[in-house]
């Protein structure tokens, strides 16, 4: 039995030596330099050269080159072209691709209702996608179904609701009831119903479309690595409470559930936590990058009381953290909004195990309270990026580095996710990072 | 002219009254037929089980000739080999599929769930079934093991998990599932047709659903007998948790099928409760509680549990009879001492059985009559008895089968 | 060593494995450890016969024995791994029947009781069984079958053994849940068993 530190060390080594045909010894050195810089920051070591500049954007590359999210979500070749250019020109120490993994043709084929996208469902043409608030988990008693047999709830209740093309799945039988031969015909017959067959046919079609899309994205990732750029994360996970309140229940229902159906909610979250861990670990196994990006939503100050946070939000989030850490992965939670009231929880995490992306929390206070345990990533404010000048950005970055970088454990990034933005401001941030970030 | 409608009603009443321990005109004879008609009428096993028309004819012929008190259906196992062939069902061998053209089907057991997989089954049973059991149990569904978990489809990742479906192997598994589904619908149609013909000829069906004791599911399908027996000591909590997890499904199966068939009797074959498998304390801790809960839930739905108690379960029967909801259950005794059981079962449980397979296959008609006499004298007294074989008629000599029918009808009157 | 025997007899698996490791590490005589295992097995058999233990314990004891032997064997260097056997036994599931569980459990129990067991598998042709009896010269042949269709193939084996002049050189035991006195007589075998210990007791009675 190796410790989590040993498992993580092995993953870091694999991340540093991905076994790909690098374009040249220079690109290999550049790649390894960037990865090592990030590893050093995570492990709270003073980096040998400088503070890494870490990405926090979704569709910014599209806007930066005069395209629109709608275009990159529709045309993967265009998306790949833009991303490659962006990554090579802007000089971040890692690149993110989340912005190009929502293919509109696939969502259209699925009649996908969880999100709305530009030109669909009233979202303006020049905007990004947005989540459609809805009680996909219709009644609170379904929390029990979810806890008892998550895949069954997903397959026969949840998916048919948010994928119009898969509505036939409501007719499927429960998979545990297949074993005895005398019941086999009754079990299988529903698979032959026209609506189920139609859903399965659509699904196969979607499978082929997605594979093509993923092939192109995978090719881009491979190429960028060979050219010297690491991915910003290799896996993805969410806090179980966010899964419930973002994608199962509308925000309002979730908040009411806190008071009315708390125990059911907790049982459902305890079911979701191991699933999230499994998915994240499989992803980092496959990608070779041990960082797991975790955008946090409802844990921010103001959504719930401290008591509710402690009871509902934190325990299963901590469980997911621990599961990923135990497997040698690195949770990279994005504390979107303010987390000033949550610092004590952040401070109790194992030393060097988690790297926090910070939005509007008090960085100096965080450095004092949490910086000894966790790498901090952030947080050039969107106000400056939108309304300021490049000189303002330069000043802001310098102050951040002066305050937070000493002693290591810091990466520079924007506080808010960048979509629409002024290219010159982002360039100014990266440049300032390179200029002031040297140790 | 015989009025088949009246006959149907008369037979059904005799059967239901017997189960309810009410007085009837005589002991009903309802043997488990299995593959007897195929052999008896000289049909080829492989040919018959692959042609529902032949099966239907042979079975109707058997009913006309032997005049049992309740009908029998080949659509229990024998009618489902078409589906099993399409999917390459691995837990069964049958004529032309692992066995000689002339052989009756046989079950195969294996350790399908490893000890470390309990948690997978317990935390996400449908995922375990879909991505682990389906691929192991059905050869043509093996590629499903390559699928990612369906619970990965949320947020904006949904489309990505489906990319796996572009894999040609998985597409073939999908086609197999579709073919098997078509075959299932067609088989169910033929089954309905046969049951209609049987009813028109005057015979009701013996049961409307089948389910199993949760621990038998673990022992038969998941852990295998050896795995299940060692788990009694090595991981008792997991074993109990698995039984609890299975219980609602075993109940759903029964209630769902009774709803479809309209026959309020559920067949429950018991496989792993034999006397020498486990101690009485283990039986009472691991086997009986979830089975009893299942039976009680069925009775609450006015469904009669019909237990086929396989092997020798002499030490179990006193408990099984003590706890049985009175007047609702049938216990089919295989090799246990039915005469001893009767002493406890009066006013509690209808007994069924148990002319030994050994006598039917190797004895003389006199041997058969002798055993039937003893059953009628000792077990039929006061009602609540159904004449049947211990196991089934598969290898029985025709003259012995005739003797069993004739004797019961002549001497079974109350 | 008594602790080994007791741990085996009481089904204390973890303790048994820990003790075995400890004794081997301390350099205790591996043969003596193995003998203590055997003594434990004998006690398990006794408890089974007394109705205190059941098939579940026999299977677990078999697994403990195998796990223990695997630990001990490397230390037995040179010395013959097992002592002289108490005799040879041939077992098979007869033609047409593919069930293996009961037969395999019975085989394991007989091995644990000190017999050398050759297991011919399932659906074994009658001629093959007769040929093996001739070549292997067991003191007992065990014919297994769960289904009623096994009756005639069992009878065929006995008939052919007689024809080959081998019937008086070997005892024939029938195993299976549908076997009783009727079938014993019909097949012309010597004894039948519905459980695993009957075999061992019968074998021991032959010696």
Given CB atoms, is B278 within the 8 Å cutoff of chain C?
yes
**8 Å CB contact of B362 and C56:** no
A250, exposed or middle or buried, with CB in 10 Å at 0-12, 13-18, 19+?
A: middle
Note whether C201 and C141 are same-domain residues.
yes
Closest residue of A to B187, CA-based? A185
Residues whose CB is less than 8 angstroms from the CB of residue C103 and which lie 6 or more positions away in sequence, other chains included: C91, C92, C93, C119, C122, C142, C144, C175
Q: Which range of residues forms the domain containing residue A90? A: 4-99+227-436
How far C189 CA sits from the closest chain B CA (Å)?
A: 14
Residue B91, pLDDT score:
85
Q: What is the mean pLDDT of residues A297-307?
A: 91
- Compute the distance between CA of residue A423 and CA of residue A435 in angstroms, rounded to an integer: 18
**8 Å CB contact of A103 and B163:** no
Q: What pairs with residue B309 in β-bridges?
A: B270, B333
- In degrees and rounded to multiples of 5, residue C45 shows phi and psi of -60, -45
Residue C58, pLDDT score:
86
Note whether C55 and C8 are same-domain residues.
yes
Count CB atoms within 10 A of the CB of residue A391: 10
Residue C168 inside a domain? The answer is yes
Given CB atoms, is B151 within the 8 Å cutoff of chain C?
no
Joined together, the tokens standing for residue A319 give: 């469980």
Beta strands (DSSP E) in chain C are: 88-93, 116-119, 140-144, 171-175, 191-193
CATH code, domain carrying C6: 1.10.1240.10
CATH code, domain carrying A54: 3.20.20.210
**8 Å CB contact of B358 and C178:** yes
Residue C192, pLDDT score:
92
- Compute the distance between CA of residue B30 and CA of residue B267 in angstroms, rounded to an integer: 14
Report whether pLDDT(A276) > 80: yes
SS3 category, B370? helix
Residue C28 inside a domain? The answer is yes
Note whether C97 and C180 are same-domain residues.
yes
Of residues B48 and B1, more confidently modeled: B48
Q: What pairs with residue A335 in β-bridges?
A: A296, A358
Given CB atoms, is C66 within the 8 Å cutoff of chain B?
no
Residues whose CB is less than 8 angstroms from the CB of residue C80 and which lie 6 or more positions away in sequence, other chains included: none
- The beta-carbon neighbor of B155 closest among A179, A238, A282 is A238
Averaged pLDDT of chain A: 93
Residue B1, pLDDT score:
54
Joined together, the tokens standing for residue B180 give: 């098997």
pLDDT in tens, B313-334: 999 999 999 999 999 999 999 9
SS3 category, B69? coil
**8 Å CB contact of C182 and B312:** no
CATH code, domain carrying C93: 3.40.50.280
Q: Which of C89, A227, A420, A184 lies closest to B80, judged by CA?
A: A184
Note whether C36 and C97 are same-domain residues.
no
**8 Å CB contact of A185 and B150:** no
- Compute the distance between CA of residue B205 and CA of residue B376 in angstroms, rounded to an integer: 23
Among C15, C46, C76, identify where a domain stops.
C76
Note whether C148 and C99 are same-domain residues.
yes
Q: What pairs with residue A264 in β-bridges?
A: none
**8 Å CB contact of A203 and B162:** yes
pLDDT in tens, A321-354: 999 999 999 999 999 999 999 999 999 999 999 9
Q: Report ipTM for this prediction.
A: 0.89
Residue C50, pLDDT score:
86
Residue C83 inside a domain? The answer is no
Q: Which residues of C touch B274 (CB under 8 A)?
A: 177
Given CB atoms, is B364 within the 8 Å cutoff of chain C?
no
Residue C81 inside a domain? The answer is no
**8 Å CB contact of B230 and C56:** yes
Residue from B94, B284, B312, B358 whose CB has the most chain C CBs within 10 Å, to mutate: B358
Residue A252, pLDDT score:
86
- Compute the distance between CA of residue B224 and CA of residue B129 in angstroms, rounded to an integer: 16
Residue B296, pLDDT score:
98
Residue A115 inside a domain? The answer is no
How far A134 CA sits from the closest chain B CA (Å)?
A: 13
- The beta-carbon neighbor of A185 closest among B152, B163, B188 is B188
**8 Å CB contact of C177 and B98:** no
Cβ atoms of A160 and A193 closer than 8 Å: no
Q: What is the mean pLDDT of residues C77-91?
A: 73
**8 Å CB contact of B151 and A210:** no
Note whether C56 and C110 are same-domain residues.
no
Q: What is the 3-state secondary structure (H, E, C) of chain A?
A: CCCHHHHHHHHHHHHHCCCCCCCCHHHHHHHHHHHHHHHHHHCCCCCCCECCECCCECCHHHHHCCCCHHHHHHCHHHHHHHHHHHHHHHCCCCECCHHHCCCHHHHHHHCECCEECCCCCCCCCCCCCEECCCCCCCCCCHHHHHHHCHHHHHHHHHHHHHEHHHHHHHHCCCHHHHCCHHHHHHHHHHHHCHHHHHHHHHHHHHHHHHHHHHHHHHHHHHHHHHCCCCECCCEECCCHHHHHHHHHCCHHHHHHHHHHCHHHHHHHHHHHHHHHHHHHHHHHHHHCCCEEEEEECCCCECCECHHHHHHHHHHHHHHHHHHHHHCCCEEEEEECCCCHHHHHHHHCCCCCCCEEEECCCCHHHHHHHCCCCCEEEEEECHHHHHHCCHHHHHHHHHHHHHHHCCCCCEEEEECCCECCCCHHHHHHHHHHHHHHCEC
Residue C82 inside a domain? The answer is no
Q: Which residues of C touch B359 (CB under 8 A)?
A: 182
Q: H-helix or E-strand containing B53?
A: helix B52-66
> Percent of chain A, pLDDT > 70?
99
Q: With cut-offs at 50, 70 and 90, classify the pLDDT of residue B57.
A: very high
Report whether pLDDT(B106) > 90: no
Q: Would you tell me which residues 199-218 of chain A have a C-beta closer than 8 angstroms to some C-beta of chain B?
A: 200, 203-204, 206-208, 210-211, 213-214
pLDDT in tens, A185-237: 889 999 999 999 999 999 889 999 999 998 999 999 999 999 999 999 999 99
For chains B and C, count residue pairs whose Cβ atoms are closer than 8 Å: 93
In angstroms and rounded to an integer, the radius of gyration of the C-alpha atoms of chain C is 18
Note whether C195 and C103 are same-domain residues.
yes
Q: What is the mean pLDDT of residues C35-48?
A: 88
In angstroms, the Cα distances linking C166 to B44, C128, C159 are 36, 14, 10
pLDDT in tens, C163-189: 999 999 999 999 988 888 889 999 999
Question: Pairing relation of β-strands A375-380 and A355-358?
Answer: parallel
- Compute the distance between CA of residue C2 and CA of residue C20 in angstroms, rounded to an integer: 12
Residue from C15, C50, C54 whose CB has the most chain B CBs within 10 Å, to mutate: C54
Residue C84, pLDDT score:
65
pLDDT in tens, A278-298: 999 999 999 999 999 999 999
pLDDT in tens, A249-272: 988 899 889 989 999 999 999 999
Note whether C96 and C65 are same-domain residues.
no
Q: Which of B189, B173, B147 lies closest to B87, judged by CA?
A: B173
Residue B130, pLDDT score:
94
pTM across the whole model: 0.89
Averaged pLDDT of chain C: 88
Residue C58 inside a domain? The answer is yes
**Cα atoms in the 13 Å half-sphere on the side-chain side of C49:** 12
Residue C107 inside a domain? The answer is yes
- Compute the distance between CA of residue C79 and CA of residue C96 in angstroms, rounded to an integer: 42
Q: Which of B414, B309, B303, B409 lies closest to B352, judged by CA?
A: B309
Residue A288 inside a domain? The answer is yes
Residue B102, pLDDT score:
82
- Chain B neighbours (≥3 Cβ pairs under 8 A) are A, C
C91 secondary structure, DSSP code: E
Tell me if there are at least 3 CB pairs under 8 Å linking chains B and A. Answer: yes
**8 Å CB contact of B134 and A106:** no
**8 Å CB contact of B230 and C149:** no
Given CB atoms, is C96 within the 8 Å cutoff of chain B?
yes
Q: What is the mean pLDDT of residues B137-142?
A: 94
- Compute the distance between CA of residue B358 and CA of residue C148 in angstroms, rounded to an integer: 7
Residue from B36, B100, B233 whose CB has the most chain C CBs within 10 Å, to mutate: B233
H runs (alpha helix) in B262-397: 280-282, 288-300, 317-323, 338-345, 357-362, 365-374
Averaged pLDDT of chain B: 93
State the residue for tokens 């003389």.
B364
**8 Å CB contact of C148 and B359:** no
Closest residue of A to B177, CA-based? A191
Buried b / exposed e over A166-204, threshold 16 CB at 10 Å, is bbbbbbbbbbbbbbbbbbbbbbbbbbbeeebbebbebbb
Considering its fold, how many domains does chain A have in total?
Answer: 1
**8 Å CB contact of A186 and B188:** yes
Report whether pLDDT(C78) > 70: no
- Compute the distance between CA of residue B184 and CA of residue B209 in angstroms, rounded to an integer: 17
- The beta-carbon neighbor of B80 closest among A110, A184, A203 is A184
Q: Which residues of B touch C53 (CB under 8 A)?
A: 279
- Compute the distance between CA of residue A407 and CA of residue A372 in angstroms, rounded to an integer: 9
Q: Which range of residues forms the domain containing residue C41? A: 2-76
Q: Which of B215, B218, B307 lies closest to B254, judged by CA?
A: B307
Angle at A332 between CA A328 and CA A334, to 5 degrees: 160
pLDDT in tens, A15-62: 999 999 999 999 999 999 999 999 999 999 876 689 999 999 999 999
Length in residues, chain C: 207
Given CB atoms, is A82 within the 8 Å cutoff of chain B?
no
pLDDT in tens, A346-392: 999 999 999 999 999 999 999 999 999 999 999 999 889 988 999 99
How far C79 CA sits from the closest chain B CA (Å)?
A: 32
Residue A87 inside a domain? The answer is yes
- The beta-carbon neighbor of B361 closest among C59, C60, C148 is C148
Q: H-helix or E-strand containing B351?
A: strand B349-355
Report whether pLDDT(B87) > 90: yes
Note whether C145 and C94 are same-domain residues.
yes
- In degrees and rounded to multiples of 5, residue A249 shows phi and psi of -120, 150
Given CB atoms, is B366 within the 8 Å cutoff of chain C?
no
Closest residue of C to B228, CA-based? C56
Cβ atoms of C65 and C41 closer than 8 Å: yes
Residue A345, pLDDT score:
97
Note whether C57 and C128 are same-domain residues.
no
Report whether pLDDT(B366) > 70: yes
Note whether C95 and C69 are same-domain residues.
no
Q: H-helix or E-strand containing B253?
A: helix B236-261
Residue A314 inside a domain? The answer is yes
Residue A231 inside a domain? The answer is yes
Residue C82, pLDDT score:
53
Tell me if there are at least 3 CB pairs under 8 Å linking chains A and C. Answer: no
Cβ atoms of A314 and A351 closer than 8 Å: no
Q: Which residues of B touch C151 (CB under 8 A)?
A: 358, 361-362, 395
Considering its fold, how many domains does chain C have in total?
Answer: 2
Residue C66 inside a domain? The answer is yes
Cβ atoms of B400 and B368 closer than 8 Å: yes
Cβ atoms of A272 and A150 closer than 8 Å: yes
Note whether C55 and C146 are same-domain residues.
no
How far C61 CA sits from the closest chain B CA (Å)?
A: 9
Residue from B117, B123, B171 whose CB has the most chain A CBs within 10 Å, to mutate: B123
- The beta-carbon neighbor of B184 closest among A175, A192, A197 is A192
Q: How many helices (H) and strands (E) are present in chain B, helices listed first?
A: 20, 9
Give Cα C179 distance to the centre of its chain.
19
- Compute the distance between CA of residue B9 and CA of residue B5 in angstroms, rounded to an integer: 6
Among C76, C98, C128, identify where a domain stops.
C76
pLDDT in tens, A131-180: 888 999 999 999 999 999 999 999 999 999 999 999 999 999 999 988 77
Report whether pLDDT(A72) > 70: yes
């Amino acid at each position: 039995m190796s410790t989590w530190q040993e498992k993580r060390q092995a993953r870091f080594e694999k991340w540093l030596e991905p076994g790909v045909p690098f374009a040249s010894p220079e690109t290999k050195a550049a790649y390894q330099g960037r990865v090592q810089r990030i590893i050093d920051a995570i492990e709270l070591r003073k980096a040998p050269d400088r503070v890494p500049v870490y990405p926090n954007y979704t569709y910014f590359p599209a806007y930066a080159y005069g395209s629109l999210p709608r275009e990159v979500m529709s045309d993967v070749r265009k998306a790949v072209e833009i991303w490659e250019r962006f990554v090579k020109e802007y000089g971040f120490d890692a690149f993110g691709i989340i912005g190009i993994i929502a293919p509109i043709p696939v969502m259209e084929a699925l009649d996908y209702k969880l999100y709305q996208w530009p030109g669909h469902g009233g979202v303006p043409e020049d905007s990004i996608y947005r989540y459609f608030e809805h009680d996909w988990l219709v009644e609170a008693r379904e929390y029990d179904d979810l806890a008892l047999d998550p895949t069954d709830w997903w397959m026969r209740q949840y998916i048919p609701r948010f994928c119009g093309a898969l509505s036939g799945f409501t007719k499927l039988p429960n998979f545990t009831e297949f074993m005895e031969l005398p019941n086999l015909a009754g079990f299988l017959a529903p698979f032959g119903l026209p609506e189920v067959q139609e859903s399965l046919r659509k699904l196969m079609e979607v499978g082929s479309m997605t594979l093509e899309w993923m092939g192109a994205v995978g090719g881009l990732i491979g190429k960028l690595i060979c050219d010297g750029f690491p991915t910003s994360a290799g896996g993805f996970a969410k806090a179980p409470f966010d899964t419930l309140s973002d994608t199962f229940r509308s925000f309002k229902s979730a908040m009411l559930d806190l008071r009315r159906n708390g125990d059911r909610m907790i049982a459902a979250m305890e079911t979701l936590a191991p699933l999230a861990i499994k998915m994240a670990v499989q992803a980092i196994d496959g990608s070779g990058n041990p960082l797991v990006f975790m955008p946090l939503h409802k844990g921010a100050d103001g959504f719930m009381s401290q008591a509710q946070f402690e009871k509902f939000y934190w325990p299963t989030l901590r469980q997911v953290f621990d599961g990923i850490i135990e497997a040698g992965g690195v949770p990279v939670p994005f504390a979107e909004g303010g987390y000033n009231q949550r610092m004590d929880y952040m401070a109790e995490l194992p030393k060097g195990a988690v790297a926090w992306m910070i939005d509007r929390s008090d960085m100096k206070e965080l450095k004092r309270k949490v910086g000894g345990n966790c790498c901090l990533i952030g947080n050039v404010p969107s106000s400056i990026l939108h309304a300021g000048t490049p000189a303002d950005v330069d000043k802001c970055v310098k102050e951040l580095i002066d305050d937070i970088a000493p002693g290591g454990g810091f990466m520079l990034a924007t506080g808010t996710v960048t979509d629409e933005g002024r290219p010159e401001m982002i360039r100014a941030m990266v440049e300032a990072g390179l200029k002031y970030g040297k140790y | 002219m015989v009025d088949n409608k009246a006959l149907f009603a008369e037979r059904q009443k005799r059967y239901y009254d017997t189960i309810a321990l009410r007085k009837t005109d005589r002991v009903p004879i309802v043997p488990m037929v299995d593959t007897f008609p195929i052999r008896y009428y000289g049909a080829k096993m492989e040919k018959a089980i692959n042609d529902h028309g032949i099966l239907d004819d042979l079975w109707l012929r058997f009913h006309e000739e032997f005049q049992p008190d309740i009908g029998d259906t080949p659509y229990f196992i024998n009618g489902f080999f078409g589906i099993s062939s399409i999917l390459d069902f691995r837990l069964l061998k049958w004529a032309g599929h692992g066995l000689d053209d002339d052989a009756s089907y046989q079950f195969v057991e294996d350790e399908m769930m490893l000890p470390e997989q309990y948690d997978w089954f317990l935390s996400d049973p449908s995922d375990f079934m879909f991505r682990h059991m389906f691929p192991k149990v059905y050869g043509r569904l093996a590629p499903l093991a390559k699928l990612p978990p369906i619970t990965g489809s949320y947020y904006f990742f949904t489309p990505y998990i489906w990319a796996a479906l572009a894999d040609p192997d998985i597409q073939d598994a999908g086609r197999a599932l579709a073919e098997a589904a078509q075959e299932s619908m067609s088989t169910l149609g033929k089954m309905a047709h046969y049951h209609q013909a049987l009813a028109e000829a005057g015979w009701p069906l013996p049961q409307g659903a089948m389910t199993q004791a949760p621990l038998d599911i673990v022992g038969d399908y998941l852990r295998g007998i050896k795995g299940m027996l060692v788990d009694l000591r090595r991981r008792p909590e997991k074993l109990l948790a698995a039984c609890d997890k299975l219980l609602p499904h075993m109940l759903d199966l029964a209630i769902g099928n009774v709803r479809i068939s309209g026959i309020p009797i559920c067949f429950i074959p018991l496989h792993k409760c034999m006397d020498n498998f486990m101690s009485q304390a283990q039986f009472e801790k691991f086997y009986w509680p979830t089975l009893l809960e299942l039976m009680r839930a069925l009775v609450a739905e006015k469904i009669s549990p019909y237990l086929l108690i396989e092997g020798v379960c002499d030490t179990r029967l006193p408990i099984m009879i003590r706890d049985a909801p009175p007047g609702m259950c049938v216990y089919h005794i295989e090799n246990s001492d039915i005469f001893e059981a009767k002493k406890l079962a009066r006013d509690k449980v209808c007994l069924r059985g148990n002319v030994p397979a050994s006598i039917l296959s190797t004895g003389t008609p006199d041997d058969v009559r002798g055993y039937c006499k003893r059953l009628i004298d000792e077990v039929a007294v006061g009602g609540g008895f159904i004449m049947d074989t211990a196991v089934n008629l598969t290898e029985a000599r025709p003259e012995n089968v005739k003797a069993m029918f004739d004797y019961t009808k002549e001497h079974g009157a109350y | 060593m008594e602790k080994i025997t007791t741990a085996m007899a009481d089904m204390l698996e973890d303790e048994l494995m820990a003790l075995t490791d400890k004794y081997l590490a301390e350099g205790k005589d591996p043969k003596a450890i193995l003998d203590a295992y055997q003594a434990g097995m004998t006690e398990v058999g006794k408890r089974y016969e007394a109705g205190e233990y059941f098939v579940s314990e026999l299977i677990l004891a078999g697994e403990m024995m195998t796990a223990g032997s695997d630990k001990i064997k490397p230390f037995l260097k040179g010395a013959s791994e097992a002592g002289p056997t108490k005799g040879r036994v041939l077992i098979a599931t007869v033609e047409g029947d593919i069930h293996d569980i009961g037969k395999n459990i019975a085989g394991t129990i007989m091995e644990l009781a000190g017999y050398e067991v050759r297991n011919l598998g399932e659906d074994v042709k009658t001629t093959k069984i007769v040929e093996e009896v001739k070549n292997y010269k067991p003191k007992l042949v065990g014919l297994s079958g769960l289904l009623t269709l096994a009756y005639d193939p069992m009878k065929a084996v006995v008939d052919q053994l007689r024809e080959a002049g081998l019937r008086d050189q070997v005892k024939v035991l029938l195993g299976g849940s549908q076997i009783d006195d009727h079938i014993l007589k019909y097949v012309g075998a010597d004894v039948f068993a519905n459980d695993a210990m009957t075999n061992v007791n019968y074998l021991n009675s032959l010696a």
